[in-house]
Amino acid sequence: MQRVAIVDPTDSSRESLRTLLLGVDFVWLEAECTRYEYFFDVIQQSMPDLAVVSLDADKGKALQMIGELSIEHPKLPILTISQDHQALLQSLQKGAKYFLTHPVGLEDMLAALRRAVGESGSASADQPSGGMPSRNQAASNIIAVLGSRGGVGTTSIAVNLAATIAASLPDEPGSGVAVVDLDLALGDADFAIEVNGMENISIADLARNIERLDMNFLRRALAKHEASRLAILRHPLEIQDVGVLHEGHIERIVNLLRVSYSHLVLDLSKSVLPTDLMALRLADTVLLTAQLEVSSLRNVVRLLHYLGQEPGLTDKVKILLNRVGSDAVEEGISLKKAEEVIGKPIFWQIPNDPKAVIAARVAGEPLVRHSPKSRAQQALFGLAQALAGRTAPPEPAKSKAAWSLFGKK
């Protein structure tokens, strides 16, 4: 937890600051002070990880106190809040490190806290009791799953990979996995496992209320699969609401969610919409799901070509083959040939395992709970490990180029 002390002599703004901070699960409100002249002692006694100073009640006193505080406690990060830009600037000159303009929105506060925590986290790495849960010191792990055509298993992999990661995480605040269904029109992530406690809130409601979001609403918006500790942000319930969402919403929603969840898995649509592109930009890893058949592999090539136009996207793409070994799906294309055509190694393979996959789906459970020993789940477990850098992916198959597979590009 991040222990925070605040000072603000004005009751109303102190109340709203307190409410804002209480909604942040990695913050512990260590001390609350109503007088600038007492705050120095409060800091001496509570030794917080971060001091938040609201300047506007008496800028002169506040700035003087910040000057003294930063001389006495040079390592204590100070965040100042004011509606006066000049005062904010002066506070930085006196030793404050971060500032926010009043009135402060949740998103800005979270971003500032994250920054403050990230920076002080590395500075105090030798103090295990201070700072944030470890996941916040590392980059959040955002995995986007993109299909190369309909029905290749994008949603099955997104949900089951998310559940596999969730099963491996310690049960502590701040570590958790959320699936975000970005197949906005026809998504079915909430079907792949049976979620309960639905309040009929979807990503469209978050987008509509984006300016007024608080942590409570955000958490309520996610449907939960308690047994697997998985949360799902559902696609809009009405198809006509798809138009409510634009890429800016996706950016803000994903950035807010990454504060509460250590891992996000994004189930993308196949339409390569601006919302999908934003998800691809935000992701740390893109799993491009394919099958060993011509139309799927051809789309992999087309997608890689398209994504290659924006710097940084294709480097994040890892090719995932699903339903490997299925006579019904595959068209006699060898792995080696697929890799040559794609021009990238196959990162991971999930075997065809209809019995386990369908049975888990019917039971409304993820594979990791319903069929933990199944071949599909074993492969998903390996995938989660490889993504976490715990095991190396297999060596790519090697042979000469065979771009003629599709006849033409």
The answer to whether the beta carbons of residues 20 and 109 sit under 8 Å apart is yes
* φ, ψ at 345 (rounded to 5°): -70, 155
The residue range among 66-74, 118-126, 155-163, 196-204 that interacts with Mg ion, by the rule CB under 5 A, is: 155-163
Chosen from Mg ion, ligand ATP, none, partner binding at 241 (C-beta under 5 to 8 Å by type): none
C-alpha 341/C-alpha 185 separation (Å) is: 31
Asked whether position 371 contacts ligand ATP by CB under 6 A, the answer is: no
Q: Which one of 243, 331, 354, 363 is in contact with ligand ATP (CB under 6 A)? A: 354
CB of 400 to ligand ATP, least distance (A): 30
Q: What is the largest CA-CA distance in the chain?
A: 78
Which residues does residue 337 pair with via DSSP β-bridges, in sequence order?
none
Q: Which is nearer to Mg ion, 154 or 175 (CB)?
A: 154
Asked whether position 318 contacts ligand ATP by CB under 6 A, the answer is: no
C-alpha 42/C-alpha 49 separation (Å) is: 13
What is the pattern of x (binds ligand ATP, CB under 6 A) and - over residues 127-166? --------------------x--xxxxxxx----------
Region 333-352 residues binding ligand ATP, contact defined as CB under 6 A: 350, 352
The answer to whether the beta carbons of residues 378 and 398 sit under 8 Å apart is no
CB of 291 to ligand ATP, least distance (A): 9
Sheet holding 346-351, edge to edge: 223-225, 230-233, 177-182, 263-268, 141-147, 285-290, 317-324, 346-351
Asked whether position 269 contacts Mg ion by CB under 5 A, the answer is: no
- CA 264 → CA 172, 181, 246, 258, 357, distances in Å? 16, 11, 19, 7, 22
Region 125-154 residues binding Mg ion, contact defined as CB under 5 A: 154
Q: Which one of 323, 337, 344, 370 is in contact with ligand ATP (CB under 6 A)? A: 323
CB of 19 to ligand ATP, least distance (A): 40
Q: Which one of 136, 141, 155, 296 is in contact with Mg ion (CB under 5 A)? A: 155
Q: What is the end-to-end Cα distance of the chain in Å, rounded?
A: 53
The two tokens of residue 137 are 């010191």
* Residue numbers at the binding site for ligand ATP (CB under 6 A): 147, 150-156, 183, 270, 322-323, 350, 352-354, 357-358, 361, 376
* Residue numbers at the binding site for Mg ion (CB under 5 A): 154-155
